[in-house]
C-alpha cells in the first residue's frame, strides 16, 4: 500500500480518456484540470517520523516469538501502520503530520504466536493495535498522540489461509488476515464464494471487515459482515475467546455481536467462520434510468419489500448520475448513436435529463432463478416509470468499482478534497435525510467560502430502509483540515438530525465517536464503556477508539 494514498504504486486515475471529466470538475468545484497544477507530495525522506520508543529488550522478546525478520521498527513500516486511508489521514500524511506512530510492528505466523505477542505486550503494559489492510476511514488505527506506553502494531498479514470448508453447512474457517482477493481465490477454487465485496476489497482483510462491521456491494443477497460471520476466535490476554459457529443461539446478549465492530478493543481476531455460498451459475448487473430520485427510491423500496431477491440495488441521485456519465470513456460508433438516441427518446417522454437517475440492480443464482428475479424487478421498475438499458453499464461498473478510490488521490494531488460519509435510515426518512445533507453541506461550503459539490447514492437495501452514501468535494483553501471538519461535521450532524445513524458500514473509530452518544443514547455509551473497561482493564487493546 502507498504510504501517501490508495492502492499500489504505479496505479492511479487518469482523465485524459474521459472527455466529460474535466468540464464536470470545473463546473462542480471550479478546478481547472487542464491547467495542470499539482501540489507537491513530500518525499518520504522529508517526513519527520517520531523515533521508536520500543526498548531493545522488548523488541528482543517479540523477535523471540515471531522471528527477527517479522519484528520491524523501520520508519516506512511504522508510517504505513500509523493511519488508515481517510481523507484526514491522507491530508496529514502528505503534510508530514505524524504525532505518534507505532513503535514496533510484528507479523505473527499463527494464533499461538499472536497469543504470545499479546501476553508479552500486556505483561509489559504496552498498547496493541491489530492491523488488517489499513484501509479504514474512521480513524480506527492511529495511536493517541499522548500515548506514553510502547505501541505494538500487530499485523495479521501472515494469517491469510482458508483453513477448512464444511461443505454440508456452507461454512468456511478462514484466518483473519486474509485479504479480499486471496480469500475469494481460495474459496473459488472449490466452487464457493463469501459474497462480501466492499469497494476496498483489494486492500482490506476479513478481520478488518469484522472489526469495523463492514458491508459489501452485494449485501442485498449475502448480508452485511455481521450476518456472514457465524463463528470467531479472538486472542485476549491469557486465552482465546471462542464463539462456535451455530446458525442461531439464545445465549444472552451475543458475544459474537460484541466482537463484530469492536475495532480491536476486545482482542485480536485470528479466525472467522463465515457463511459461504456456491458460486452462482449466472450473475448480472443491469442498468436502469429513472425520471428522478423519488421514482427510483420508490422502486427500490418496493423491490426490498417484495419477493424479489436481488444481489444489488443501487440508485444514484442526479448529481452522482452526472458524475458517472462524466467518468465514462468516450463512446464511438453505434454505441454513441444509441446513447444519443436514448437521450432524445427520454426527452420526448418529458424527462428533464438533469434530474435523471442511474440505477443498478443485480441478480444471481441458477439460470431460471436469476431470470425470474429480473422479470419481477423489471415489472416494479416499469411501474415506477423506469427504463432498462441493459447489461453494458452494469458490467462496466462491476469491473471499474475498485478503481474509483484512486480519484481521491488524483484530486488531492491537485489541492482538492473528495470524501465520503454514509448513513442508514428507515424508508420513511430517506428522502428527508437526503435533503438535509444537501442543505447542511451547502451551508458548510458557504461557511468555508468554497464552491462545493455533493452527490449521493442509495445502496444496501433492507425491508425497513437503506443506506445513503454521500460524496462531497471542494478545492481546499488555506486550512484544509479545518475546512474538511466543517463540512464533515455538518453532514454527520444532519444524519442524526434527520433520523439516520452516524455510519452504516465505516465504523466509529475516532472520526465518528463525537456523535456516538447522540446515536445510541447515554445508556448505550455507558454499556459500551463498561464492556471495554471490564474486558480490558489495563486499556491495552487499541484504547480510546469508539468510546
Q: Rounded to an integer, what distance in angstroms lies between the CA atom of residue 472 and that of residue 489?
A: 12
Q: Considering the rule CB under 6 A, would residue 214 count as an interface residue with ligand FAD? A: yes
Q: Considering the rule CB under 6 A, would residue 6 count as an interface residue with ligand FAD? A: yes
Q: Considering the rule CB under 6 A, would residue 215 count as an interface residue with ligand FAD? A: yes
- Three-point CA angle 441, 354, 362, nearest 5°: 85
Q: Phi and psi (nearest 5°) for 356?
A: -65, 145
Q: Are 258 and 266 in contact (CB under 8 A)?
A: yes
Q: Considering the rule CB under 6 A, would residue 208 count as an interface residue with ligand FAD? A: yes
Q: How far is the CB of 410 from ligand FAD (least distance, A)?
A: 13
Q: How far is the CB of 199 from ligand FAD (least distance, A)?
A: 4
Q: Which DSSP category does 353 fall into?
A: T
Site for ligand FAD in 78-107 (CB under 6 A): 84-85
Q: Considering the rule CB under 6 A, would residue 218 count as an interface residue with ligand FAD? A: no
Other Cβ atoms within 10 Å of 528 Cβ, number: 19
Q: Are 138 and 510 in contact (CB under 8 A)?
A: yes
Interface with ligand FAD by CB under 6 A: which range of 211-219, 283-291, 314-322, 344-352?
211-219
Q: Considering the rule CB under 6 A, would residue 542 count as an interface residue with ligand FAD? A: yes
Q: Considering the rule CB under 6 A, would residue 405 count as an interface residue with ligand FAD? A: yes
Quick note: the x/- pattern for ligand FAD over 339-378, rule CB under 6 A, is ----------------------------------------
Q: Which of 102, 261, 264, 362 binds ligand FAD (CB under 6 A)?
A: 264
Q: Considering the rule CB under 6 A, would residue 312 count as an interface residue with ligand FAD? A: no
Q: Considering the rule CB under 6 A, would residue 134 count as an interface residue with ligand FAD? A: yes
Q: How far is the CB of 521 from ligand FAD (least distance, A)?
A: 23
Instruction: Give whole-number Cα distances, 409 to 79, 193, 416, in Å.
Output: 18, 31, 9
Q: Considering the rule CB under 6 A, would residue 187 count as an interface residue with ligand FAD? A: no
Q: How far is the CB of 7 from ligand FAD (least distance, A)?
A: 9
Q: Rounded to an integer, what distance in angstroms lies between the CA atom of residue 509 and that of residue 486?
A: 19
Which residue number has the CB closest to ligand FAD? 208
- Active site includes 406? no
Q: How far is the CB of 112 from ligand FAD (least distance, A)?
A: 15
Q: Considering the rule CB under 6 A, would residue 202 count as an interface residue with ligand FAD? A: no
Q: Rounded to an integer, what distance in angstroms lies between the CA atom of residue 492 and that of residue 479?
A: 20
Q: Which of 52, 71, 115, 140 binds ligand FAD (CB under 6 A)?
A: 140
Q: Rounded to an integer, what distance in angstroms lies between the CA atom of residue 180 and that of residue 491?
A: 30
Q: Considering the rule CB under 6 A, would residue 204 count as an interface residue with ligand FAD? A: yes
Q: How many residues bind ligand FAD (CB under 6 A)?
A: 38
Alpha helices by DSSP H, listed for 349-454, are 367-383, 392-400, 406-413, 427-448
In this complex, which beta carbon is closest to ligand FAD, that of residue 85 or of residue 295? 85
Q: Which of 211, 240, 274, 298 binds ligand FAD (CB under 6 A)?
A: 211
Instruction: Give whole-number Cα distances, 274 to 222, 231, 316, in Å.
Output: 11, 7, 31
Q: How far is the CB of 159 from ligand FAD (least distance, A)?
A: 8
Q: Which of 53, 291, 374, 506 binds ligand FAD (CB under 6 A)?
A: 506
Q: How far is the CB of 542 from ligand FAD (least distance, A)?
A: 5
Question: Which entry of 107, 397, 469, 484 is annotated as an active-site residue?
Answer: 469
Interface with ligand FAD by CB under 6 A: which range of 33-41, 295-303, 325-333, 500-508?
500-508
Q: How far is the CB of 502 from ligand FAD (least distance, A)?
A: 14
Instruction: Give whole-number Cα distances, 45 to 8, 41, 74, 245, 504, in Å.
Output: 19, 11, 12, 48, 38
SS3 assignment, position 444: helix
- Whole-angstrom Cα Rg for the chain: 24
In this complex, which beta carbon is closest to ligand FAD, that of residue 175 or of residue 373? 175
Q: Are 330 and 396 in contact (CB under 8 A)?
A: no
Q: Considering the rule CB under 6 A, would residue 59 count as an interface residue with ligand FAD? A: no
Site for ligand FAD in 428-447 (CB under 6 A): none
Q: Are 314 and 459 in contact (CB under 8 A)?
A: yes
Q: Rounded to an integer, what distance in angstroms lies between the CA atom of residue 277 and that of residue 372?
A: 20
Q: Considering the rule CB under 6 A, would residue 205 count as an interface residue with ligand FAD? A: yes
Q: Rounded to an integer, what distance in angstroms lies between the CA atom of residue 125 and that of residue 120?
A: 9
Chain Cα centroid distance, residue 82: 18
What's the residue count for the chain? 547
Q: Considering the rule CB under 6 A, would residue 397 count as an interface residue with ligand FAD? A: no
Cell of 517: 452518544
Cell of 316: 444514484
Instruction: Give whole-number Cα distances, 373 to 303, 304, 366, 507, 512, in Å.
Output: 10, 12, 10, 32, 38
H or E element at residue 128? strand 127-131
For the annotated catalytic residues, the residue numbers are 469
Q: Which residues bind ligand FAD (CB under 6 A)?
A: 6, 84-85, 129-137, 140-141, 156, 176, 198-200, 204-205, 207-209, 211-212, 214-215, 263-264, 268-269, 405, 505-507, 542, 545
Amino acid at each position: 500500500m502507498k504510504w501517501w494514498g490508495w492502492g499500489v504504486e504505479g496505479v492511479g486515475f487518469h482523465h485524459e480518456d474521459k472527455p466529460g471529466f474535466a468540464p464536470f470538475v470545473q463546473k462542480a468545484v471550479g478546478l481547472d484540470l487542464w491547467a495542470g497544477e499539482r501540489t507537491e507530495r513530500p518525499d518520504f525522506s522529508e517526513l519527520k517520523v517520531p523515533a521508536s520508543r520500543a526498548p531493545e529488550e522488548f523488541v528482543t522478546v517479540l523477535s523471540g516469538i515471531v522471528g527477527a525478520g517479522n519484528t520491524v521498527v523501520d520508519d516506512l513500516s511504522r508510517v504505513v501502520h500509523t493511519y488508515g486511508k481517510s481523507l484526514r489521514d491522507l491530508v496529514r500524511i502528505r503534510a508530514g503530520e505524524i504525532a505518534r506512530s507505532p513503535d514496533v510492528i510484528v507479523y505473527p505466523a499463527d494464533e499461538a504466536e499472536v497469543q504470545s505477542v499479546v501476553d508479552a505486550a500486556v505483561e509489559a503494559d504496552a498498547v496493541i493495535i491489530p492491523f488488517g489492510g489499513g484501509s479504514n476511514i474512521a480513524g480506527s488505527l492511529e495511536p493517541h498522540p499522548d500515548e506514553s506506553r510502547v505501541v505494538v502494531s500487530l499485523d495479521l498479514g501472515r494469517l491469510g489461509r482458508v483453513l477448512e470448508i464444511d461443505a454440508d453447512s456452507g461454512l468456511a474457517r478462514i484466518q483473519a488476515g486474509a485479504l479480499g482477493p486471496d480469500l475469494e481465490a481460495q474459496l473459488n477454487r472449490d466452487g464457493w464464494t463469501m459474497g462480501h465485496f466492499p469497494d476496498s476489497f483489494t486492500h482490506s482483510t476479513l478481520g478488518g471487515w469484522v472489526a469495523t462491521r463492514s458491508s459489501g456491494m452485494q449485501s442485498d443477497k449475502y448480508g452485511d459482515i455481521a450476518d456472514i460471520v457465524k463463528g470467531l476466535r479472538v486472542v485476549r490476554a491469557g486465552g482465546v475467546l471462542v464463539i462456535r459457529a451455530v446458525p442461531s443461539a439464545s445465549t444472552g446478549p451475543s458475544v459474537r455481536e460484541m466482537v463484530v465492530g469492536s475495532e480491536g478493543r476486545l482482542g485480536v481476531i485470528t479466525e472467522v467462520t463465515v457463511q459461504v455460498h456456491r458460486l452462482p451459475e449466472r450473475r448480472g448487473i443491469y442498468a436502469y434510468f429513472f425520471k428522478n430520485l423519488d421514482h427510483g427510491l420508490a422502486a427500490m423500496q418496493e423491490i426490498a419489500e417484495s419477493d424479489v431477491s436481488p444481489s444489488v440495488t443501487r440508485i444514484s441521485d442526479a448529481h452522482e448520475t452526472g458524475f458517472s456519465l462524466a467518468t465514462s470513456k468516450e463512446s464511438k460508433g453505434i454505441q454513441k448513436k444509441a446513447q444519443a438516441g436514448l437521450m432524445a427518446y427520454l426527452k420526448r417522454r418529458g424527462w428533464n435529463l438533469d434530474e435523471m437517475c442511474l440505477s443498478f440492480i443485480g441478480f444471481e443464482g441458477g439460470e431460471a432463478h436469476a431470470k425470474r428475479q429480473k422479470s419481477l424487478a423489471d415489472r416494479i421498475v416499469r411501474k415506477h416509470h423506469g427504463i432498462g438499458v441493459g447489461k453494458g453499464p452494469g458490467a462496466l461498473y462491476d469491473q471499474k468499482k475498485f478503481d474509483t478510490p484512486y480519484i481521491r488521490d488524483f484530486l488531492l494531488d491537485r489541492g482538492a478534497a473528495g470524501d465520503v460519509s454514509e448513513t442508514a435510515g428507515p424508508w420513511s426518512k430517506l428522502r428527508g435525510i437526503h435533503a438535509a445533507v444537501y442543505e447542511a453541506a451547502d451551508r458548510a461550503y458557504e461557511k468555508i467560502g468554497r464552491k462545493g459539490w455533493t452527490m449521493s447514492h442509495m445502496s444496501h437495501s433492507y425491508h425497513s430502509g437503506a443506506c445513503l452514501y454521500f460524496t462531497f468535494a471542494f478545492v481546499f483553501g488555506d486550512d484544509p483540515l479545518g475546512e474538511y471538519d466543517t463540512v464533515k461535521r455538518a453532514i454527520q450532524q444532519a444524519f442524526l438530525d434527520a433520523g439516520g445513524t452516524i455510519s452504516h458500514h465505516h465504523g466509529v473509530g475516532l472520526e465518528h465517536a463525537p456523535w456516538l452518544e447522540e446515536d445510541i443514547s447515554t445508556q448505550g455509551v455507558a454499556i459500551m464503556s463498561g464492556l471495554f473497561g471490564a474486558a480490558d482493564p489495563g486499556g491495552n487493546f487499541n484504547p480510546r477508539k469508539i468510546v
